[in-house]
Structures are given as structure tokens and as C-alpha cells.
Structure 1
Amino acid sequence: MKKTWTLRRQLNILLALIVIFQSLALVFALFISRVYFMLDAEAVRLLNNTTETRAETFDTSVGQMIAGLADESKQLSTRMTDLAQQTGSTPQAIYRDDIAYNESAQIASDALVSILKQDRVTGAFFILNGSNAEKANGQAHSAVYIRNTTPDSEETANYSLEIGPTAVAKSYGMATSIRWDLDMKENEDGSQFDFYEKPFWAGTAYKGSEIERFGYWTKPIDLLKDNQQVVCYTLPVLDQDGNPYGVLGVEIDMPYFSQYYLPDSDLLYHNSFYVIAGMHDQALDLNWFIPGGVLAKTYLKSGEQLPMKALKDEGISETTLNDLGAMYSSMRELKVYSENSPFVDENWTLACFVPSQVLMENSQSVREKLFASIAITTLLAFSGVFVLVYFFTRKISRLSEYVSGLSPYDEIQFKPTGMREIDDLTSAVELFNQSLVTASQTTSKILELSLLPIGGYEVHDSSRNVILTDFLYWLLHIEPGIPVSKEEWKACLNRLRANPMEDHANIYRYDDEQRETQLWLRIIEAKQPSGVVGVIQDVSTEIEENRRLVNELDYDALTHLYSRTALKREVNRKLREKPDKIGAMIFMDLDNLKYINDSFGHEVGDRLIVRAGEIFRYFEPFGGIISRISGDEFAVYLHDFDHPDQVRDIIREFHDQKESFCLRTPDGESRRIRFSSGIAWYPQDADNVTELLKLSDFAMYEAKNTEKGRLFEFNREYYEQTLGEHKGESTDSTEEEPSPCIC
């Protein structure tokens, strides 16, 4: 029975589905409009713009600084060349002459002070190619090194002389450092002197190029061994022939570099920071890096390779930092070297790091608020639906309770609900009830007058007695109108159902002892919400007619032997009952039926067939199943044997009597009834009735073609050889003859 739902549940489900659909439609619309993706994309765009702007500002500032330093280098070269000519020396040897060296230190200090006033650097220096104080020391270099503790101020009082003649400090009124030295010395292993050697080498290797091509940036180094990390940029100082004899450079210490070149004032997100480092194979090389603040110093570990995973279609990369977790980074390569610089491969990359949660927190916040709004709205809508449906269906539920309490004999009178459609429906139901009562009474009367052998009953849950029609009173020998209780009816129904008919559902044999008759009854019941209804019909005539038809189909009209269909059914039954026993299918064909028909007519031919059927009934005492297959063909199946010889003995005894199988024809003569036979064994040759008939038929034809009137057993090898020949197959073996059985 199909499951039903209450109106209240259906309305709740329908309206709930509408609310869910609207909510999903809103979510889908937000998804299609790509609001969330646009918010994420805007956050990424702002991050990329911030990084791009900072990179451009850095490149501009550095470019101006390099241009100013190049001009100073050219001017310094000119003045040094003039000084060398005045002193009768050369720029390469100027450090050897004391007077010339002192003059050169003063000229260099003028250039350095000019650089410190113009460029935002924390120090400037000039280094010669040898030492005035230690001329024999190849690792010592005369130099002038001035630092400015307040780069944003032009007051020379804030300057300090780190390296160089004290006359320079006196001339500018600056203090000398507590680590003051006259020369700059190389390390014994030659390390950390790239700031001097590389621009010197570039000036020599690429002689004649613009001076900016020779510039070199150092990684953060402790240049003066004072535990102060600085970044240096140096250019060679060239003579009139373009040969280098010294370098001019600037330093920027880490705090000021971070403050001026990597300020956090333009960062849009908290916990974000800049860093400058090398970039190789999709990883930041932290063997050196310039931090842009405290966070960069804290969370970036020197000496590591930080892998960067590029994200599709966003222009940013993703990585993970301890404590901070997942980070997004926008990176730009800085233009610290020109494209023709020999140091262009030493790339500097600016990276802006932002925690992924921070970068997407605005879009995530909007997303969460939207989903929360949709969820709250949906819950409120659900609540409103349930309340409205409850009040709407309450009166209908009362009507249902009223109807469920009615008995079939109660008059229906509905109370108004105030809902026009429902009241119209109840009025229609009242009218229909009156019509139904009238129709029921009419139908009962028609059944009584129709004299059909059919009756009905109803077992109502709310009633103690069962409603019966007149036919059932007659069938059960009960006086009409006498109340029958549910218990009495149950006993009567069990008696009617005591003998079910095989292969026929809902049909039972009922022996009416009082009338001394046997009836066949069809009993059908149906469950109802209020109980059970049923119909009982006398189908005796129908069953007898069916049996007659089945008998005609199962038996041959002429010989009254089994038909082919009945033979198969009965053989299959025996095979199911005793599958482990031995059986034999004997296929027989009358040899002289055509001659009899042609000579004496079909009436005599029919007598021959009837006589053959009587002869073959010889096998019935042995449990044989005898069938007329068609025309002049018969089949006998024997089963329930332990050895084939038992069957062979039965067949031998049968054939010993064949001389007595005769038919007297109209010409007065007695003619022998001859037949050719073939036998196939179960389960040796086949395990099903269809195959047994086929193989025994094959053996019979071999007997008929070889010598009529004989019985041949099926030969598997001969059978397969014959099939091969029929298919056109060639064989080298000699032809096998089928093996005759016993006669």
C-alpha cells in the first residue's frame, strides 16, 4: 500500500522546500555574481598594488642615489686627476705621496659630505688602491669613511669620521669614532671585501662603459666590524684613461634601510611586512635578506630556503611561516642593476608578506555575515511556515478525527470550518454519503436478484459482528439475518480455507458434507483503514472447465497417451525427485505407417497408431512415462534404476514379444507392427529432457537408416563425427558404426 502523508506534513514539506529553494537561489546568485571572488580578488589587487608601488618607489630612490653617486664619482675623478698632475704623480700612486695623499683625502671628504647631504644614506666612503701609512701592506687601503647618525639632517656636527686623516674631522668640525683607524684593511682570508674588488674588477673588465654599469650592491655585512649590519653600494673612481684606482661608495644601515626604503606605513594589513632577498627556483634565498621590520626579523630564519608556491590567476604566492601559519606574498624584482651590468644575476626581490587569514578577513567577514543572514532568514521562514500550517490544518484535523470516529451506520453531519473550499467539500461529502447509502442498498438488492454464486463480507474494527451477504448465509448453512461475531466468522473462514488448491492462488476446495457436494471457492480479501472486506465466489464450474482443457492438452486425443509437453513435465519431475538415479529415453518410430495409410486409408492408419500405443503401455508397470510425440513417433522414459543393464533387461523382454505385435487389415491379413528405436541414457548422455529426446531421436534414425525394426543406443563418438561431416569438416579416422543395444 502506498504510504500517505498528512496534509499538514505535505504543506510543511512543500513550503519548506520553497524556502530552501529561495535560500539556495540566493546563494547561487551570490556565487554566479562572484561577489566572494571579487572581494578576494580586490584584496589580492590591493596587495599587488602596494608591492608594486613600493618597488617603484624603491627603484626611483635607488636610481636617484646611483645617479648622484655617479656624478660625484666623475667629479672626484676629475679633481684627483688634476691633483695628480699638479704633484707630478698619477692617480694610481697618489697614496704614496704624503702631501698629495692629504690633499686627496680633503678632496674626497668634500665629495663624501656632499653625498651625505644629498642622498638618504648613513655613511659614505672613498677607498684608494693602497695605504699611505703602510705602503708595504697589500691588504691595507687608505680611505676616508664618514658616517651620519641622523641621515635626515644636513648638520655636519652629527657626522663622525670612522676612517681617514684627522685633518678631515678638524676641517668639518666632526668627531672621530672610538673605532677610528687610518686605513681600511682586508680580512686575512680576503672575505667581505667584494664592495671594493667587484666594482674595481668591473671597471677594468668593461673599460669604456658608462660608470653606472660598474656599480655593485653588497648583501648586509658588518663592514667596520662594529656589529652594525649595513648595505653598501660602490662605484669605481677612474683616471683619465678609464682605469680604476679606488672606489666611492655609500652605506645604509639596516634600521634606516627598513625605515626609509621598506616603511610599514604603506602596509594595509596588520601582521604584514616587507623583506628584500634573493629569489632562486621559486624560493626566497634567506642566506641574506633585508628585513622590513620586527616581524621579518622574528619569523624569517637566516640561511633557509623559503619555498614559494605560485597561485593561479592571482599574481601572488603562498608559503608557511612558523607561528604565523599560511602566508600570501606579492613579489617584485627590484632594478638595482642595469640590464648590462655584470652583476645583473644577483637579483634583489621585494616580497610583501601578509597572513592569508588577514588578507581575506574582509571577504571572509562579508561571506560569514551573508551566510548568517541567509541562515537566520531561513530559520525564521521555517518557523513561520510551521506556525501558519499548524493553524491552517487544525480545523481539517478535527474533521478527520470526526470522520475516523464514525461507524458505517452513522449519519454524517460536519461542522462548518469557516473556510469556503473545505465547507463546500464537506457538503459534497454529505451528499455523496447519502447517495452511497442508496447505491449500497441498491447493489445489495441486485446481488440478491442476480443469483450469481458470489458473496461478500466486511469485518469492521469498530464493530463486534461481521456483515455478510445472503450467499454466505446459504454457503455456511446459517439463517439469514442472524448476527455472526468476529470469532465465529474467523472459525468459518478457516474452515473454508482448509484445503488450498495447488498452483492456483486464493482458490480452496470446500467439502459441503450436508449437501454432499464438493465446491471450489475463490476467496479474496483487501485491507481497509477501518478493517477488512472480502469476496467469496463459487468457481467450481470454472475449475472443472480448466481441468478439462488441461486434460486435452496433456493427453493425445487418439491414443490417450501423454503429449510431448506432458512428457517433458513428468520427466523433469522425476529428474528433480531422484537426480542420482539412472534413466533411459527410448524414441520409437513406426516403420510401416505410410504404407498402411496409402494402402488401406487413414482410418486403418489410426488403428495402427492406437494399437502401437497399447503395445507401448507395456512399460507402465516399470514406471515408464509413455508419450505420442507426433504422427508415428513415440517416446518412453524409464527412471529410478541403479544400473543400465536393468533397463536393457526390460527392453529385451519387450522385444522378445515383438512377433506378437500385429494389426489385422481389411484384406484379412495380420500384419506385423514394426518400429525402429533409439535410446539415450541419463545422466551419461544428457542431463535434461530436451537433450535426451534429441539424442535418442538421433539414435532412432541411425537404426531406421541401418536396419528397420532394431533399437540402437546413442554413440557419442559417432554423433560428433556425423555433426562434423554435416559441417563440411574432413577427418582421417575411419567411419564408426553406431552400437546396437540388445535387439
Structure 2
Amino acid sequence: MMIKIKKNSIMTKILLPMTVIILIQLAVLTGIIYSGGVIEQLKRSSYDVLSERVEARTGYLENDMNSRWSDVELTVNTVNQTLKTLLSEGIIDFDSLDNDPEEYNAFLEAVSNDMILLMRRNSVTGTFIVLNTQDLDKGEKQNKPGLYIRDLDPSATPSVMNTDLMLERAPTALTKKLDISLDSSWRPQFEFLKNNVSYYPFFYEPFQAAIKSPGIGYKDLGYWSHTYTLCGDNRGAIAYSVPLIYDDGTVYGVLGIEISIDFLAKQLPYDEIIHDKKGSYVLGITDTHYLGYNNVLCSGTLLSRLKLDNIKLTADDTNTMNYIDIKNSKFHERQYYYSKTLDLYNSNVYFARDNWTLTAFVKENDLFEFADKISRLLYIAIIATVVAGMCGVLVISYNVTKPISKLVDHVKNSKPDGNFALEPTQIYEIDRLADAIERLSVDLMEDSTKFATIIEMASSKIGGFEIWDDRETIFITDRFFEVFNLNGIDTRILNKTSFLEILSALEQYIEPEENREGEYLFKIPVEEEESYRWVSMKYANQWNKWIGLAEDVTESMMQLKMMQHERDYDYLTDIVNRRAFYRIINRLFESNRSELKVAALVMVDLDNLKRINDTFGHAYGDTYIQKAVECMKKANPKETIIARISGDEFFIFYYGYDSKDEIRRLIAKMQSTMSNNKIILPDATSCEVCVSGGVAWYPYDCEEYEKLIRYADFAMYTAKSQHKGTIKEFNLTRFQKEETILLGKKELNTIIEKQLIIYHFQPIIDAQTGEVFAYEALMRSNMEILRTPYDILTLARKEFKLREIERLTLFKAMEAFCGHMRAGRIHKDCKVFINSIPNQLLTLEEITSFESIYREYLHLIVPEMTEEERVVDKLKTAKLNEVKNWSGEIAIDDFGSGYNSQALLLSLSPKYVKIDMEIIHDIHKDLNKEKIVESLISYAHERGILVVAEGLECEEEVEKVISMGIDLLQGYYCGRPSIDITNINVNLKNKIASLHHTCFN
């Protein structure tokens, strides 16, 4: 017997309460069974065993990491003592320890045995030392020298000859002396510059902590790193490392030990967690009491099924049985876990925020296997009881509902003609319902007739229908098909099949772009009127029937189309505007790319429009535009997209062609058509329609319309710059060549308009006292192409914008200098040297504004005149008068680098002469340079001129120029340029005094 149960049927109404009664009885039974809590107690016991094992394993691991592996104190002391010895013997120096091969080779060789001894003593898989004396957050990444030794099996008996060791990192010269095998991933240095490799955490974290926290001992800066692999190697490891800090606080590297992941996995025997090796250990690092950010190790069956990257696990909670749900495309399971935090750091040390956590995972089925067996037996008993009860309920319900279902089928198959009778069911309540249905049928037919009459009397054309899913009969108003301009169809004889056939024939007129959910819009041609009729048909599904209403909306659609036309078409030319063009071309490239085939975007510009507008007025300009568009339409096929983008710019998009030549012929035809069309101007002359344009090809030049527009624009720019009246095709080679120039010009304009330059300051030191005498303002830029002052000045000279750079330099340099002066970072008599372009003058208005802003500081300004520019006498005199009015002084920059040094010196009569750094460089080694400088100093001192030595980089150069009587010193030795003057370390008083003593005594 097959029983079918439908939603909301009488059988459902009987089944539901009886089923509820059965379930209540079963719930009471189940509650009695489980109220004793036996199952939960069994599960709790299993979880307690898991937690005890994790606690014990955590203690073992914590002891190894704290007491054995990380004991590096003896080695650190020995390494520091070795460094002190080498420093005292002059073998090494801090400034070059990490970049001079002779120095770091000597140091690494001296400590190599200590590193091997550390590895043997601590029973670890590796030791390392990395040398560095620079702040890692400043400047570019650099390779670092160091030593990295590995022993993959520290539990084996050590080899006397070190044959069990491998070198991972060591200088080439040192590998020959250590007689240790090189690993396949060996490198002579720790490579960071190559491929922009990030600094390893065991190196970066403790070293930067020591830099940021001076005065803290290395023990409080010890760091356990998360997992890493050396460049070129695939073996994971963790490390404990400490910064190497000399007695005077100098940080010169890191020292540490390595624990390989394979060796660490052996310390976490996951087979102890639960029987049959079904558990897993996970060791991880996090900033809070949650696991899942930096996983160090995962050992056991969990490894291939669980990823903890985005899961948070509560640690050290013995009162709750913690679990997580693992969802995957292949499986869904629950894992129970217990987490314990390792006590590796004191609460007040630098890396106390890092919590190392050991977590054991066991699948729910494995952990609660015994408890689940007991539960399954109870479930089987409950299910058997439910099945027996439900079978009885179904049989009873079927016998009660059978006569009612028969009545329903009778009603369903009857026609609603207001005249039908229902067979009695011999059930009193149901028979009363049948009588009411018979009366309701008559009333419904009367109401339907009234509704149809109302629709027929409506002023607009409206029609409706009603279709039942399980009936062949339908209801349709008499004028329904007249709305669709279909006359002569008798709706009274239609059934559901024939009605749907007629609607299917109308589907060809549906406008797909205008449809919304629950509504179709039809565009039906009316041949006798040579127009279209727009019909909106709305439909909905209710209670197994479809109800629809069709309405003639032609008038409202015509108004909407008119509004859309005004929105999308240019009022003057009646072609699409910019917004409509971008919408059309975007649709073509997004959804109809197959229709494009070979396509071309032509961008044209009307050559004579501006002249006509300026000479004869915009009315004739509009006539010229209309004539040009008329030619474009006449010469091109109807499907060509022609758009007006701006006043005199147009886009013409050809698509759907098989070759470029087809499009080239159309472009040539358009040019010919334009050349044969003219407009008559008010002065009785004629003006030929002339355009310049550029062509970009799809898909040959590019496949994105944004680039296509950009390329066509560039091609048009090329045509206008070479020969107006032509249409040029895009040339990628030329574009790539000129793009940098165009971007450079754009950057130059941006620099000038937005004043995007900043000034660093370099100290100029008094050679007698060692005090700061002045600062030179040095231009800096953060632009991508124009990065250096040379780049900016070179392009500005080509673009005739040197005067704008001169103005920007003077105002911005003084703005920065005065900011330091007002903040008290510069003493009140300190001068500022500012580079000046000799043949560029500011306007009187600009000079007045400058003097008004910086009046109290004008006497401190020293403009530097370069001899690379030829100076016109008139301009030179004007600039000297400006400085004289300020009570300022003049300096000649880069003296000796140009073609007219002596002439410039005589004509300017400067207060300062700055000797070019090429002459100063290695002056202590070159007698010719000494003679040149001696002569200049002698000449200058006779005339009261102070001489500045630029580009000083070493003590020998400073000693030499001081001995020659130099007045002022400048260069990296004296201080590097910086935007923040407080960062410039100028402390040369004692050094200058010492050099004077050396030179003159």
C-alpha cells in the first residue's frame, strides 16, 4: 500500500498531534536514561586523560626549551671577549665589521669553534651568528655575513673530525679553513638583497628589539622564532636567538641555536595521546591565549586534514571540553583539543607577548569511542519505538482521509460553470462543506462576470487571464488579445494549451533589456501605422495558479524613449554623447566581444574650429561641427558608432570586420568626403572640413577599450604634432619611447603646481672650531621619474620652466629652514646656502612677497651660483643687487668643474667658494689636487674669501685640507643630509681640535 502525504492535508493534521504525543513519551524515556549523566561522565573522563598527557608533554618541552636548548650565556660571553680582543688588536672595526671581508672572516673564524661547541653542548640541530651594525628598518635590504652550522642528528655520537656537520652559511674563504662539508643550499652570505628576501625573524626581531631598547641586557631580548626556511632550502626550523651587544651598547649582530622541525617532531610523540596513533600535537605561537596565527609544528593524523590559519582555540581551560568543527568540501568532523601555554618568557621581557602553546587534537569519534557505543544502543531502542508508533498512526490516518481525498478529486475535475453537484462522503462535517462549495461556485461565476465587465469598460486597453497548474480550463477577458493588436480571436473557445501557443508566438517581440522580475515588455509592430505598440504584461503565481494582466503602455514608453534620447544624444549633432558611448562600448566589450572581430577606434579633432569660433563666432563654429558630423555619417555604415566626446573631439568605432583594410577604406572614404565639403564664412571665403585623428586597432594594439582610447589619443596627438589634417595609426614603439617623456612632463607640472619638493639640510662646519657654521638646503623629490635635482632641472630647462623651479626652491627651502630656526634647532646666526640658477629672476611681486615673509632671516641667505650656467651680465647684476639688498652673501658652487671658473670668480666677487668634490676626493693621495687647492686658498684669503671643501668622506681628506688652511668643511664625514636636523650627528669639536694638533704640531 502506497500512502502519499501532502503538506496541510487532513492526514497531516492527524499525523502531527499523534506524532507529537509519541515524541513526548520518548523524550520522557530518554530524559530518564540520560538524567544520571553516565554518558557525559564517560566523555569527561576521556577528556581528562587527554589534558593530563598534554600537561606532562608541555612540561618536558618547556624544560628542554628553557634549560637546555636556549642556554647560550657561555657562548655569548666568549664571543664578546673574542670581539674585544680583535678590536683592541686593530684587526676589526665596528664601522666595517659587516661589510669588510677581511674583518668578518677573521671574526667568524675566531668564534667558529665556540659555535660548534654550543651546538654539541646544547644538543641542537644548528647554531648561527649573523653580523650587522645598521638599523634594519632604514635603507634598502643588504646581504649580511655570518656563520650557520647544522647537525641534523644531534642525538648521534659527535664526529671528532666534524664530518657529521654541514655549513649552510659561511664566507668562501672560511669554508676552506673549517673543513666542514657544504650543504646543497650553502650560500657565502645571508642573502636578502636578491629577490628582496625578507629578513629572517630570528635575525630581525632580537636585533631590532636591541636597537629600540638600549640599555636592556641580551637575556631579556632572547627570542623564540616561528617556523622559517633558509633561502634555497626546504627544511623548516625554529630558532632561539639573542642580540650581540658590546660593552659600550653597540649592537653588532645576533647569535642563536636552531631546532629543526623534524627533530622537534620527535619530541612530540603523538602516539601517546590516544591508542592507534589517532591523535595529533600542534605547537603554535600567538599574541593572546588563542592558537592559530603562526603554527610551528603539526604532527600526527591531523596534518593532512586540518588547517589552523583562521581558527582560534582557547588555551589552559580545564573546566570545558573544547572542540572545533572542521568543514571541508570532502568531510565534516569535530576535533576535541586541549591547549597548554609554555612558560618561555618572564612577564617583563621584550617578547613576553608571544605565547607558545602546545595543543593535542583527537577526533570526536576516537576520543569518545566507548561512550558512543553506549549511546548507540540507546538510540536504536528509541528509533525502534518511534517506527512502530508511526506505522500505526499512518494506517489509522489513511482510513480516515480516503473519502475526503475522493471528494477533493471530484471538485478538482469539475468545471466552474455554477451548476455542479458533489457526491456525499457519509461524514457529516465534510458533507456540510460540500454544500457550501456548491453555493460558492455560483457566487464566484457572478463575480468573475462583473470583473470582466469592468476591464472591458476601462479607458486604456487592458486584458487579463487566469490559468491553473492542474486544470486545462482557463479564464481570459474578451479584449485580452486586442491589447497585442491581435483581433478576431474568440477567447471563449480557448483552452490552456492553445492559449499558451499564442503567447509563445508573441515571445519574439519581447524586449529582453527592458524586462524585470514578474513583468515582460513587448514591442509589437503595427504595419498599418508604420509604428510600434508597447505592451506590459505582469504575472504572478498564487495558490497553484497564474494570474496575468496585459496593458497598452505605448504612450508612456514613447515619452521614456524621448527622455533617453535627450540624455544619450548630443543636442547639436544628434549623435551619441560621451556617456552613451562609454555605456555602449562597455557593453560590447563585456558581453558581446565575439561580435567585435577586427575593430578600430578612431579619435578625431576638428582642426579649424577654434579659429572659426574666435573669428566668426560660435554660430559658424556649430555649423562647422554639424557639417563634419554629416560627413562622418554619410561616409560610414549605419552600424558604425559615432560619438561627440567634447567640443571638437569625436570617437568613431568600427567593429565586426574581417581585416584592417576594410576599415582603412572606410576611413579614407570619410577623409575624402570631408575634403569635398566646405562651409561659407561671413567674409565670403570657404572653409574645408578638416580633421586630425588617430587609430588604435583591436585586438592588435590591445584588447581593453580603456587602452584603446588611450592609444588612439596618442596617435591623434602624433598626427597633430606632425601634420594636421591626417589620421595616423598607433605606433607602440613610439608610444613606449615618448610615454616616459610625457609622464616626466606631467610630474614636472605636478611638482610645480602642488609644490611637491622637500629639503634636506647638510651641515657646513667651521674648520677652526668644529661648530656648525651653516646648512646647505638640498632638494629632494618623491616622484617616480623625477627623483633627483638633476632630473628635475634637466627637464625644467627643456620645458623652459627654470624660473618656476627657482621660485619654488627659494620659497620652500626658506620655509623649511625657518621652521627649524623657530623651533630652536638652529642657532640664530647660522646661515643657509641655497642653490640658485644664475640666469633666472623672480618677478618684482614674488620678490616683494618673499621679503615680506622672511624679512628677519634675509641676511642669513647665501645663494650658490653654479658655473655650469652662462650668466648674462644684466641678469647677474640684478641677482647680485637682490642679495645686496638683503645684506646677504654670494657663494660659487662646484668651483673647478666648469669652463669659466676664474671668470665667474672675478665677476661675482663672492664671499664663499665651494671647491668641487671631485677635486677634494682622495686629495691626500694626489699632489696635483693639493697644488690646485693651495693656489685657490692663497688667492681667496688675500681677498677675504672663505673656501669650502665639499664631499669630505674620510678623516685623511679632512686632515689634509685643514693642514692647507681650509675655512669650512662639508661632506658625509661631517654629517649626512637629513630632513630632520636633530638626526644629524655633528660632534666634531674634539676631532677638529685633534686634527689641528696633528697638522700644526
TM-score class, shorter = 0.3 to 0.5
Q: Which has the higher contact order (CA 8 A, sep 6+)?
A: 1
Q: TM-score, normalised by structure 2?
A: 0.34
Question: Could you state the TM-score of these two structures normalised by the residue count of structure 1?
Answer: 0.43
Answer with 1 or 2: which has the greater Rg: 1
